[in-house]
Structure 1
């Protein structure tokens, strides 16, 4: 039978462990950025882009919910990599009101930019409250354009022979994948940016073959060791984070997010993805 003294010692130990875990998930892991390095093999990639660096930044969630100095610091570290291409895959803000536009303007004045090109798509939070607030998407697009970033809204950018297709967000008011994927050029090098990976399961892809870079899930933000995350904002709960071979000539990569809607993470560190471009075998 456990003694009262041992019981109190055990209870105190558990309380301390719980407090330490809470502190870690709130104050440490949300700001413990990981630069994930991967190859990105692309069919028909021009010789001039082989070996170049493409950086993916996703889900910054600039707003009042955490200190965005962390975002600014991450831009400084990213710029040290001298990336040729930087892509932003949506959710620039956690929008509560017009003050987020001012905050985003201050942050993006120091944005990580590619020496060749910087392109972006919008995420659901970039459409304001309930993803339906009129004008927020245009205002955020203007902030990005003023910061030297090309915003793709179901449109395409030709980056030294790499055809980057940007799909507007699935939950937003401008989702039009048919128009976006009409820009697919099978004979060219192609890359799709699509914030919400659930779009991968829709019949909209126009025969597309190649990589899709997404975000949105944050990897679930909190994940028990060796188990899937209990909460994901997607219908297809297979889409957590990392690489997924979709089995039809498409490959999906889901970035775990730089920021977060609320600063709580466990076993899912924030991520900036650093891709080395290479030519894929046909």
Structure 2
């Protein structure tokens, strides 16, 4: 290769690398996608057919992320007027008590369902090494004050829909037996659980229905048609989107609204809007 040609090729490659880097840092992390999915639910009452359920996950409010983007995303989501809203954990990226004030700032713009709003905690909501129960309690108090019914191994009935919420598997309060051993029979139901690996645990007691999770962020970066190289789960099939577990359960993994590190490539941030239909 002639020297001139080599320099031109090198300059083009460098320019492409710079543009890709800027895209992954300044564009895609803020390019929110509203993903629409049908959610068939057994025994769904006629009154709930066609209603919408919005899932928001992994906001990671903290010092590493632009809270203005989170607030603007909430405002966009509010315009869709969902009937139900569920939050599936990692509200904060906890480093210090400063995150409590930051969470209050963001959740002043929280999206609420016209029929009901619920949530569960994620591992980051438990502070350092996922073991600071006082942090989880404070996060829960902030969210509860903003009208989000936090479920910590609990079940509630919301206009005929049973919503079961499991606390985070990696943290200190994962006690699924408190709720899954007494599942309501012949009722429409769904489970909120931050970490999708929980789907593989022997805890489900015959549950058949949807499990909504987050945690993976979809890997945040991946080459087209390939799996992401880094995933914080044991089961590497659990990346993002809908997964048929083959036993009457359907897992859905939200790609996250926020992130820990401001970089995304081929994995846009997501808010999911489910349409409830008869199963």
TM-score with structure 2 length normalisation?
A: 0.99
5+ long unaligned stretches in structure 2: none
1:93-104 matches, cutoff 5 A: 93-104=92-103
Please say if 1:19 is aligned against 2:36. Answer: no
The one-character-per-residue Cα deviations of 1:61-120 (angstroms, maximum 9, x if unpaired) are 010112111111111111111111000000001111100010001110110111111100
Distance across 2 between alignment mates of 1:183 and 1:112: 30
2:217 alignment counterpart = 218
Structure 1 segments (4+ residues) deviating >3 Å:
none
Distance across 1 between alignment mates of 2:163 and 2:133: 27
1:176 alignment counterpart = 175
1:1-282 matches, cutoff 5 A: 2-280=1-279
The one-character-per-residue Cα deviations of 1:8-41 (angstroms, maximum 9, x if unpaired) are 1111111111100000000000000000001111
The one-character-per-residue Cα deviations of 1:194-252 (angstroms, maximum 9, x if unpaired) are 10010000000011000000000000000111110100000000000011110011010
The one-character-per-residue Cα deviations of 1:151-178 (angstroms, maximum 9, x if unpaired) are 0000011110100000000101100111
Distance across 1 between alignment mates of 2:248 and 2:102: 40
Residue 135 of structure 1 aligns to a residue whose secondary structure is helix
Distance across 2 between alignment mates of 1:134 and 1:155: 17
Residue 75 of structure 2 aligns to a residue whose secondary structure is helix
Distance across 2 between alignment mates of 1:194 and 1:140: 17
- Alignment check: 8 A CA contact 1:91 1:123 kept: yes
Distance across 1 between alignment mates of 2:49 and 2:133: 41
**How far off its partner does 1:7 sit?**
1.0
**How far off its partner does 1:180 sit?**
2.5
Aligned length, in residue pairs: 279
5+ long unaligned stretches in structure 1: none
Distance across 1 between alignment mates of 2:171 and 2:80: 33
Distance across 1 between alignment mates of 2:89 and 2:228: 21
Residue 142 of structure 1 aligns to a residue whose secondary structure is helix
- Alignment check: 8 A CA contact 1:165 1:183 kept: no
Residue 133 of structure 2 aligns to a residue whose secondary structure is coil
Mean alpha-carbon deviation: is it higher for 134-143 or for 173-182? 173-182
Distance across 2 between alignment mates of 1:41 and 1:228: 27
**How far off its partner does 1:134 sit?**
3.4
TM-score with structure 1 length normalisation?
A: 0.98
Distance across 1 between alignment mates of 2:182 and 2:4: 71
Distance across 1 between alignment mates of 2:191 and 2:133: 26
**How far off its partner does 1:189 sit?**
0.6
**How far off its partner does 1:183 sit?**
4.1
| Root mean square deviation, CA, Å | 0.8
